[in-house]
A and B are shown apart, each in its own frame.
Chain A
């Protein structure tokens, strides 16, 4: 079983819809992250959380919101999806300090 699980794996939706991407982890890590990946642009940080109720904006937070309801769960929402939010989205977790990040398998989101 995966340590970091993202749902759904794929989603196609229409402009203006509200979308929620879920991430859950069994690694017991306090720190969780959401990234977006576009071809040729690498991974860009959207939001991150160091603990329950702790939320921090990343490089490209506009148009997104997050919720950290429990240590194991970190969800990403697009309140009103637009086509340029079409991308591959990754959730990741880590321990404190210089420990590596552990990524989920990603959610491929297409907005028409």
Chain B
């Protein structure tokens, strides 16, 4: 089976850096994705790590280490609009397609 663990809540102040960790137990997967969701709205794609290492997209970076069964999303220069829920997700090898298994999400609260 597959399971992904994330902290349920993280708090930070504007301008700070925050790291949201995702640890997983899975028999194998194609890559680790991150999605952002504001206030019950549509989740939106942030980043994807197919290989180990760091992927950078503007203020956001994502990291994957398959040997450590671990990944993280790094948010820099935090802004109030970054307050949202963040989900890590994997596409397991045992599903012949692109169906994702999501973690339970981390609620990030950014204060001024």
Contact = CB atoms under 8 A, between A and B. Distances in A.
Interface of A: 4, 31, 33, 35, 37, 40-45, 48, 50, 56, 58-59, 88, 90, 92, 94, 96-106, 108
B44 A103 contact: yes
Contacts, number: 64
Nearest to B41: A105
A94 B98 contact: yes
B42 A100 contact: no
Given A45-B100, A103-B42, A106-B41, 11 more contacts: A42-B102, A42-B105, A43-B89, A44-B102, A58-B99, A94-B98, A98-B50, A99-B98, A100-B33, A105-B41, A108-B40
Interface of B: 8, 30-31, 33, 35, 40-45, 48, 50, 87, 89, 91, 97-105
Contact of B102 (A43, A100, A104, A106): A43
A40 B104 contact: yes
27 contacts: A4-B42, A31-B97, A31-B98, A33-B99, A35-B102, A42-B105, A43-B87, A43-B89, A44-B102, A45-B101, A56-B99, A58-B99, A59-B101, A92-B43, A94-B98, A96-B97, A96-B98, A98-B48, A98-B98, A100-B48, A101-B35, A101-B45, A101-B100, A102-B45, A103-B43, A105-B41, A106-B42
Contacts of B87: 42-43
A4 B8 CA distance: 28
